[in-house]
Structure 1
Amino acid sequence: MPFLSGSLSFERFRVEKFDSASFDQEHLDLMHQHAAGKVETDSAENVHTGFLGGAHLFDQDFDLEKNVINDAVHFGIRIDTNQIPAAIKNAWLQMELAGLGRDNPSGVPTKTQRKEAKEAVEQRCEVEAATGKYRKFQPFSLLWDHGYEMLYFGGSAGTASGHCADLLERIFEIELRHVSAGTIAQAWAIEADRYAEMDEVVPAAFIAGPSHGSVAWANEHSQAPDFLGNEFLLWLWWTLETQTDTITIADDTEVTVMLSKTLSLECPVGESGKETITAESPVKLPEAMQAIQHGKLPRKTGMILVRDGQQFDLTLQAESFGISGAKIILDEDTEFDADDRIEAVRTLCDTVDGLFHTFCDRRTGADWHKDLSAIQNWLAPVPQRAVQAA
């Protein structure tokens, strides 16, 4: 599965209230007891989640040597659904109604006949669902890192991740908190004793005009400042264009950065729409610069990161800090086993977070106004820049 080979795509969840000192056979036995396929899904509207051993769609084998690697457990979760597609149910209903209404003088089914048709379709759905022909299996790869108290979910946050989180919370009596740009920023602020400053942060005005108090894509159910992910990508873009392509992070290691391959931008007030640019270096194209000069903010970008000789190619989603299409680039002579692979996942996340922490330090520091002024000048049209320089 992807965490042990191939490219990586995942969202992160913070694991809370897991009291065990390490993963042991007891935890794997729990997974085996609730393995995918042990509970049949015969009803018409049913969703069942179960654990997978991680090797393939029907893997129900769980073993310490196989699943516990480098203080992390690698496994899968399968979501089984047995639902009749809405288009098929509607077709059956129309066929029933046509048959029942055929002998009516008006040719239109009566209220009683409509009710009869609905009941007939419900019965047919139960019969068809029992055959299993509409059953679908959707597997997801997961990595639960004990030392980092982190769950890596091999997919994007949404209904599927919710089903998987419910299963893990129920079976292991833990709590999972989705990691986003805002929660990373808040956690950093607590560690750095900058929480008061972080609490006062509002969306910055990078171009002339009225400032906006929020962004159109903000999660109304979250108080975390996820908009900082968008500002981080813009700050990173400005830094690479005007200062340096190498950024020192908190542990004093240097990260070389290049924005590449894809760039998605959107108007934060929802007025001028979205734009996606695909190129070897999209930020070098004039349409990319024009987009941010008109107030759009980056929502997703491809990037290449090099740290301590290790290279990662990935796409980063600004608000969720979800990573997709990540590739670990190695020399041909480098030996790389499962332990190294999991360590590389940690390094990748530490590197992305380290860059973001550097931005958070600037964003909540006394010199942020200097950065903001410089970015505003960088984004200003050429004649305006000349006036400001004069």
Structure 2
Amino acid sequence: MPFLRGSLGFERFSVAGFEASTFDDEHIEILSKHAAGRSDSTAIENVHTGFLGGDHLFDQDFDLSKNVVNDALHVSVRIDTNNIPAAIRNAWLQMEISGIAKDSEDGVVSKAQRKEAKEAMEQRCEVEAATGKYRKMQSFPLLWDYNHETLYFGGSVGNAAGLCMDLIESCFGVELRRIGAGAIATQWGIDTDQYALVDDLQPISFIDGKISSHHWSNEHSQAPDFLGNEFLMWLWWTLENETDTIVLPDDSEVTVMLAKTLTLECPHAESGKETITAECPIKLPEAMQAIRSGKLPRKTGMTIIRNDRQFDLTLNAETFGISGAKIHLDDDEEFDDNDRIDAIRLLGETTDLMLHAFCKQRISKDWAADQKNIQKWLSQGTAGRQKSAA
């Protein structure tokens, strides 16, 4: 089962409206009823979604002891498509048209004949689709954490995620919302009675301090996902000039190092995007040159240590999605599935608390000084925070 083995990669969704007190046989029955492959269709361009037991692509077996681990439901969703590629469809159409043209005295194909050719092509598509040769199957692991009302989706947000979320919402009667940087910041504002201050925040340029904008922003979302980009910039500056240990809002501490990979992009789509791969990419001159030109971090690799547990991961700034995450274990450590689930929870909690720490600073009176120091760091390249005498 993917969430219980190997490296981790996931996006998160909040779960609302689940009224059961725990996962039980009723929910196992729902999974079985909507298992992948139970309602196959040979129709062309049809999409089917269904649940899998999690062991493999054809696993239709579900059981509480197998699929519920540490109060978390672990299954997969399989997406079956039966779509003939456009290039093949077009080739069959052209073959039909060519055949008609050869039988024509003047070699000209009329509008009515083109319609006939298209109908013949569609009939061939139906026949070919029925053979199953163009059927594709993809599976995506899910981990539904009951206690934290969170769904971990083992993939990136896109069409596949939408299909999986629709299946879960319709089968279990719940509402799912993506947990990105903006949603995390907003919920923190609500929980700490600071929502108005968070809601008033606008994206800023670290070069001149003016209100800016990000061309990659989702115009249909009001969530302040830009705080994810600013968080990574603030984290970079903090690690370089102050400390590698950050005190989190719950008074615990996390040690952080940015490593392996770094993706930066111009928020105005003027100077492009670049990805730097190195043991410590932020130490390379091209990385500093990029942020001094106004580019912002969109994704970075990092190592974090909290509660004596070390993780290596790559964090997406806006979605707060995690990829390539590895849980470090001691040589003699016993680590079972329950421990694995707890580690996943710790990883998500830690990245959230890191963003909370930034949000607390971002709305504070100290932010103006931090912003000036970041600007000075970018313009002069000097290390060390310039602290006021006060």
Q: CA deviation at 1:366?
A: 1.4
Question: Could you tell which deviates more after superposition, 199-208 or 162-171?
Answer: 199-208
Q: Work out whether 1:48 is the aligned partner of 2:48.
A: yes
Q: What are the Cα deviations for residues 358-388 of structure 1, in whole angstroms up to 9, with x where unaligned?
A: 00000011111011111011101459x9xxx
- Aligned mates of 2:161, 2:40 — CA distance in 1: 21
Q: What are the Cα deviations for residues 258-301 of structure 1, in whole angstroms up to 9, with x where unaligned?
A: 00011000011111110110100000000000000010000000
Confirm or deny: 8 A CA contact 2:22 2:71 kept in the other structure. Answer: yes
Letter in 1 for 2:373: A
- Aligned mates of 2:31, 2:190 — CA distance in 1: 35
| 2:125 matched residue in structure 1 | 125
- Aligned mates of 2:281, 2:47 — CA distance in 1: 41
| 1:195 matched residue in structure 2 | 195
Q: What are the Cα deviations for residues 154-193 of structure 1, in whole angstroms up to 9, with x where unaligned?
A: 0000000000000001011110001100000000001111
| 1:285 matched residue in structure 2 | 284
Partner-residue secondary structure (3-state), 2:270: coil
Q: What are the Cα deviations for residues 334-379 of structure 1, in whole angstroms up to 9, with x where unaligned?
A: 1111100000000000111111100000001111101111101110
Partner-residue secondary structure (3-state), 1:353: helix
| 1:249 matched residue in structure 2 | 248
Q: Work out whether 1:359 is the aligned partner of 2:358.
A: yes
Confirm or deny: 8 A CA contact 2:28 2:64 kept in the other structure. Answer: yes
Partner-residue secondary structure (3-state), 1:114: helix
Q: CA deviation at 1:83?
A: 1.1
In structure 2, stretches of 5+ residues that fail to align are none
The TM-score with structure 1 as length reference comes to 0.96
Q: Work out whether 1:38 is the aligned partner of 2:34.
A: no
The residue correspondences of 1:163-182 to structure 2 (distance < 5 A) are 163-182=163-182
- Aligned mates of 1:250, 1:211 — CA distance in 2: 27
Which stretches of structure 1, 4 residues or longer, exceed 2 Å deviation after superposition? 103-108, 208-211
Confirm or deny: 8 A CA contact 2:209 2:371 kept in the other structure. Answer: no
Confirm or deny: 8 A CA contact 2:264 2:298 kept in the other structure. Answer: yes
Partner-residue secondary structure (3-state), 2:103: coil
| 2:339 matched residue in structure 1 | 340
Q: What are the Cα deviations for residues 55-99 of structure 1, in whole angstroms up to 9, with x where unaligned?
A: 111111111111111011100100011111111101101111111
The residue correspondences of 1:1-390 to structure 2 (distance < 5 A) are 1-208=1-208, 211-212=211-212, 214-381=213-380
- Aligned mates of 1:159, 1:231 — CA distance in 2: 27
Confirm or deny: 8 A CA contact 2:311 2:325 kept in the other structure. Answer: yes
The TM-score with structure 2 as length reference comes to 0.96
- Aligned mates of 1:16, 1:211 — CA distance in 2: 35
Q: Percent identity?
A: 64
Q: CA deviation at 1:105?
A: 4.4
Confirm or deny: 8 A CA contact 1:41 1:81 kept in the other structure. Answer: no
Would the alpha carbon gap of residues 381 and 106 (structure 1) be closer, same or farther in structure 2, given more than 3 Å must change?
farther
